[in-house]
Chains A and B, each alone.
Chain A
Amino acid sequence: AQKITQTQPGMFVQEKEAVTLDCTYDTSDPSYGLFWYKQPSSGEMIFLIYQGSYDQQNATEGRYSLNFQKARKSANLVISASQLGDSAMYFCAMREGDKIIFGKGTRLHILP
């Protein structure tokens, strides 16, 4: 069974609009961490944001925020005021122990 599910293979969004990328996860461990990574066309993997399972508040990093809904086991990434440079592949990931498990990714296209 998939531990990280990203249901949106691709998304097209107009520049300057907000974007929500969906992610649901599955774990029975009470202690876990959730991450989002960005992979632009150049190929590198860039760490964006982290949310711990015990964190009371949603994580934010600049234009990125993580909408953490623990009961629903969802960890959606919200990008405010999208920019052309946000066009990339986005991966949701979950830490279990020392390992990080990645979802299949969502390809985001920002339209001018």
Chain B
Amino acid sequence: DAGVIQSPRHEVTEMGQEVTLRCKPISGHNSLFWYRQTMMRGLELLIYFNNNVPIDDSGMPEDRFSAKMPNASFSTLKIQPSEPRDSAVYFCASSFPDRVGYEQYFGPGTRLTVT
């Protein structure tokens, strides 16, 4: 199994630019989660999907952030316009709720730097 795939691994952009982060969950997993990790705030859940439907986006910081999951094998997290305070590592994770434990498997993360 390839695991959760995220791209790009690193992104450096200027303030005001649009940023799109991509995620491919593990095949067969029907829950997908987007997290943001910073030194100050730790690991924060931004949004999660079940069966491609957004269930809880209460963690999305502002309207500048949006996420989509057009099909079971692909999701995007978009920031428009980006700001320096968006600099963080963004993780995507997936899980298969029928498994005992519901453990989430994480992708390698995208390190975003907004200058």
Contact = CB atoms under 8 A, between A and B. Distances in A.
Contacts of A98: 31, 48, 50, 55-56, 97, 102
Contacts of B91: 45
Interface in B71-91: 89, 91
Interface in B41-65: 42-43, 45, 48, 50, 55-56
Interface residues of A, number: 20
For A91, A100, A102, the residue with the greatest tally of chain B CB atoms inside 10 Å of its CB is: A100
15 contacts: A35-B101, A37-B106, A43-B109, A44-B108, A45-B91, A45-B106, A50-B101, A98-B97, A99-B33, A99-B56, A100-B33, A100-B104, A102-B43, A105-B42, A105-B43
The 5 closest A-B pairs by CB, nearest first: A45-B106, A50-B101, A102-B43, A47-B103, A104-B42
A14 to B, nearest CB: 27
Nearest to B89: A43
A30 B103 CA distance: 18
Given A99-B48, A102-B42, A105-B42, A45 B93 contact: yes
B103 A35 contact: yes
A43 B33 CA distance: 17
Contacts, number: 50
A95 B33 CA distance: 13
Nearest to A46: B106
A22 B104 CA distance: 21
B42 A44 contact: no
Contacts of B105: 47
B42 A33 contact: no
B79 to A, nearest CB: 20
A50 B93 CA distance: 16
